[in-house]
Amino acid sequence: MTEKTYAIAEIFYSIQGEGAYAGTPAVFVRLAGCNLACAWCDTDFKVKRHMTAKEINKEIAELLINITAGPLASTEAQPSMPILVFTGGEPTLQLVDDQMVGQGSLIKCIETNGTGHVPWWIDFVTLSPKFGYSTLDDIKMARINEIKVVLEEGVDPEYWRPLVDQSNPMSRYIQPCSENFQPAIDYVKQHPEWKLSLQTQKMINID
């Protein structure tokens, strides 16, 4: 039987810039391809390589080989290792239940538009629904740890309220679509159940 391969855009080690894990060291596995075509998307998720799970795990291990746990013991509140983030494109187009990818000791996170199935072995789910490109009926998520709505002209976060009320994610974020932060700031001030999320990786100019 031919071993499954994944279409990969890039694998790199950096800092998570958004959401609940903002500021946390992270290995990113960016899977190529997306089922949506958002006009404002500026991410390069073209296919660069095809890799097996074993090859992906080996590259992750090589990125982390010089990293030590440090003086703090690992606890639920203070993990001693970076997180592992599957992103895209849309990672659920390729990740499946029966093929775990990634080092077992890392917290496995996924950033998804919610239109696909999230594998059971993912620990933390970030849903970023795309207003105007998917609907409530398209989102069939069994679990959501945080929701992040990108605010651009014409987007109404209230549209997703039935989803938020049903899933009750621990964190709810509004993220500016551009460097014009004011509309997002104003929205959060008027709707304090939401928090402001900024793309700090762009602000400090890191990958």
Q: What is the pLDDT of residue 66?
A: 73
Comparing C-alpha atoms, which of 82, 108, 87, 96 is closest to residue 5? 96
In Å, what is the CA distance from 69 to each residue of 48, 60, 76? Answer: 31, 16, 14
Is 123's pLDDT higher than 50? yes
Tokens 């077992």 found at: 104
Segments making up each domain of the chain, as ranges: 5-64+80-203
Q: What is the pLDDT of residue 72?
A: 43
3.40.718.10, 3.20.20.70, 3.30.1540.10, 1.25.40.20: which CATH number matches 5-64+80-203?
3.20.20.70
Tens-digit pLDDT profile for residues 156-187: 999 999 988 888 888 999 998 877 889 999 99
The answer to whether 70 and 85 are in contact (CB under 8 A) is: no
Tens-digit pLDDT profile for residues 9-41: 999 999 998 999 999 999 999 999 999 888 878
Exposure string over 171-181, b if 16+ CB within 10 A, otherwise e? ebbbbbeeeee
pLDDT band for 95, please (50, 70, 90 cuts).
very high
Q: What is the pLDDT of residue 202?
A: 61
The answer to whether 105 and 64 are in contact (CB under 8 A) is: no
Is 74's pLDDT higher than 70? no
Q: Model-level pTM?
A: 0.87
